[in-house]
Amino acid sequence: MNVIVIGPKGKMGRLITQIAAQREEMTLVAGVGPAGRDYIGDDLGKVAGVGSDLDVPVVDDLSKVIDQCDVLIDFSTREMSLEVLNLALQHKKALVCGTTGFSTEEMAQFRQAGQTIPMLYAANTSKLVNVMSRLLEIAATAIGNETDIEIVEMHDRWKKDAPSGTSKELGEVIAQARGQELTDMAVFGREGESLRQENTIGYHSMRMGDYPSSHIVTFGGFGERLEISHHSYNFKCFASGACDCVAYVVKQPPGYYSVKEALTF
């Protein structure tokens, strides 16, 4: 499969490029960065720190190279990802997107894209995080109505959106297990007199240093509590899972797919 990486100098883009370059079934055909960056025109291997040149260019105009690929993988920015989505639709290319921070209306565009192209959106491509989602579904079904639920998420100081896309997905798993909508349950932080309301999920976001990612979900009962958590030590687990998603979605017919389907557990 021929792959184009969007944002190859970014935190995730670099690792995705490095891992994809090692996979026999994947051929990197281009990297795409924002216009005006000083690395435009350089070799993708150099830009992503692969350790050797790949004889693959980094360009700033996706439209000029998109027809060379079978699938696009995009962990860039909200604005850039929306442009990538539009081009993927125009050229009928499979797309894996892991960018976060979209509005409800923008997310609807990705879901709708599944009517035309193989579209996989995942706020978190770690296999362990998605196992965590299964555990949360079990816990929420069993004790969700008799415990107080809080979500604490931690990320590096440069993360733009809060709460994280992953924590929202985890909250949605819990809400659905309880037959509710997360938008009706989420409470973001507390200040002053703030007694806990029934049927809510409390969110707390921490941003510090270069901390990769942690998500801790607590079910608080009386005299006991249950914690289900995930902690990443670096971003390689996400990049590896993202490449697994690419390998999955490129073989699928048009549709809107999830990381759970791609990682097959």
Active site residues: 155, 159
> How does DSSP assign 7-62, residue by residue?
STTSHHHHHHHHHHHH-TT-EEEEEE--TT-TTTTSBHHHHTT-SS--S-BEES-G
The number of folded domains in the chain is: 2
Based on the fold, state whether residues 203 and 247 are members of the same structural domain. no
Which tokens in the block code for residue 172? 């949605």
CA distance 175 to 168: 10
Based on the fold, state whether residues 8 and 117 are members of the same structural domain. yes
Under the banding of pLDDT at 50, 70 and 90, the label for residue 77 is very high
pLDDT at 176: 95
Based on the fold, state whether residues 212 and 245 are members of the same structural domain. no
pLDDT digits (tens, 9 = 90+) for 159-197: 988 999 899 999 999 999 999 999 999 999 988 877 888
- The alpha carbon of 124 is separated from its chain's Cα centroid by a whole number of angstroms, namely 4
pLDDT exceeds 80 at position 264: no
Based on the fold, state whether residues 101 and 145 are members of the same structural domain. no
Based on the fold, state whether residues 246 and 203 are members of the same structural domain. no
Based on the fold, state whether residues 32 and 112 are members of the same structural domain. yes
CATH of the domain at 106: 3.40.50.720
pLDDT at 124: 86
Give burial (CB, 10 Å; 0-12/13-18/19+) of 234.
exposed
Based on the fold, state whether residues 29 and 61 are members of the same structural domain. yes
Based on the fold, state whether residues 50 and 110 are members of the same structural domain. yes
pLDDT digits (tens, 9 = 90+) for 206-225: 999 998 899 999 999 999 99
Based on the fold, state whether residues 252 and 218 are members of the same structural domain. no
pLDDT at 190: 86
Based on the fold, state whether residues 116 and 247 are members of the same structural domain. yes
Under the banding of pLDDT at 50, 70 and 90, the label for residue 265 is low
Based on the fold, state whether residues 7 and 67 are members of the same structural domain. yes
**Helix, coil or strand: residue 258:** coil
CATH of the domain at 186: 3.30.360.10
Instruction: Tell me the percentage of the chain whose pLDDT exceeds 70.
Output: 99
For residue 9, give every residue at least 6 positions away whose Cβ sits within 8 Å of its Cβ, in sequence order, or none.
33, 37, 39, 47, 48, 58
**Which structural domain, as residue segments, surrounds residue 10?**
2-121+236-263
Mean pLDDT, range 119-140, rounded to an integer:
93
Based on the fold, state whether residues 91 and 201 are members of the same structural domain. no
